Amino acid sequence: MASGKTQLLPCLLLACLFHRSTGFVFWTAVVEISYMDSQNETKDRICECGIFGRNAAIERAYGVVTLPRGDPKGCGPDPAYNRNASSPSWIALVKRGNCTFSEKIRAAKRLGASAVVIYNADGTGNTTSHMSHPETANTVAIMIGNWQGMEIVKLLQNGTEVNMIIEVGSPHGPWMDTYWLYFLSIAFFIVMTASIAYFVFISANRLYNLRMLRRSEKRLKSEAKNAIQRLQVRTLKRGDEETTSENLLCAVCIESYKAGDVVTILTCDHIFHKACIEPWLLEKRTCPMCKCDILKALGVEDESKDEYNHNTSQEVTVITVAGGDAMYEVPLTDTARSHHYDNSAFEGEPTRG
């Protein structure tokens, strides 16, 4: 779960950055004009020299280019255009200035223009800007340079009919810039590298914990085996209390004892069949009846920890019966270890009679 949350954060940051940056992306417009010159030859000119407005409809438009009457800037509450009634589709060509872009576009759209082309103010050359006109959505509106606009104006003023086709160009802006692409590639590489590194770290950590758990289980089984070798083992004979009493049963196999059975006596004095209790102790390491821990009772666990930590200091283990007081102390020295029960039958289990 933590891994999923960690991977989710970089994605949210990139999504937020993308949302904030899309407003800076703009589309160019391919402007194509055609007209008849003085020799009645068709002239075609095409350039990717226009820019769609921020609120414009990014789509194709075509028609006869038309200028406003009087004021070339197309301002005022009700401007008029030199429309040719025989041309159903026309494009308004107006100059920048005096009023807002929205007012120019709204006025031409109200009169039926299929698109509005605004050319830049005098002295700006062929530079353009990304105009904003929030009140005229769904209208094709582009800006072209002053020189390009004045060239079309002169043709129209000389009585030449000019047809224009506006095509959608290509997107531009920070997300389309080469440096931004490099930045995105590097950011993506960093995020992916961090995610892979985190995954490898988590996997390695889990494998390490699993390995340590297995080593711990193996060590505990080895300690249990050492503890089992110290337990007292005897063979029951006829007349022993265990063979004559019906109340004494092996708590593991729930069977009565009989003469010839090999039994193991735990530190808590509970008796079990040797073949039954030894597999149990290897896994559980406690008495099935009173839960007495044989490793703690015999001091095997503490002895193993001392060897692992290279601690040579002498310790004392108190052997207790569950629920009772301390019975006696056994110092963990070489001399003390010589007083353990010797389970010679552990390696080769005798056949039960």
For residue range 265-283, list pLDDT tens digits in order.
888 889 999 899 888 888 8
pLDDT at 179: 66
Residue 143 to residue 150: CA distance in whole angstroms: 13
Q: Which residue has the higher pLDDT, 304 or 299?
A: 299
Delineate the domains of the chain, giving CATH numbers in brackets.
Answer: 26-172 (3.50.30.30)
Predicted pLDDT of residue 241: 83
Average pLDDT on 140-149 reads 93
Q: Which tens digit of pLDDT belongs to each residue from 188-222?
A: 999 999 999 999 999 999 999 999 988 888 888 88
Identify the three-state secondary structure at position 36: strand
pLDDT of residue 151: 93
Q: What's the mean pLDDT when you consider all of the chain?
A: 77
CA distances from 228 to 51, 234, 289, 318, 342 (A): 89, 13, 17, 18, 9
- The predicted structure's pLDDT at residue 346: 40
pLDDT at 162 over 60: yes
% of the chain exceeding 90 in pLDDT? 25
Give me the residue label for tokens 């080469």.
Answer: 178
By percentage, how much of the chain surpasses pLDDT 70? 75
- Comparing 353 with 179, which gets the higher pLDDT? 179
Got the DSSP string for 240-262? -HHHH-SS-B-TTT--B--TT-E
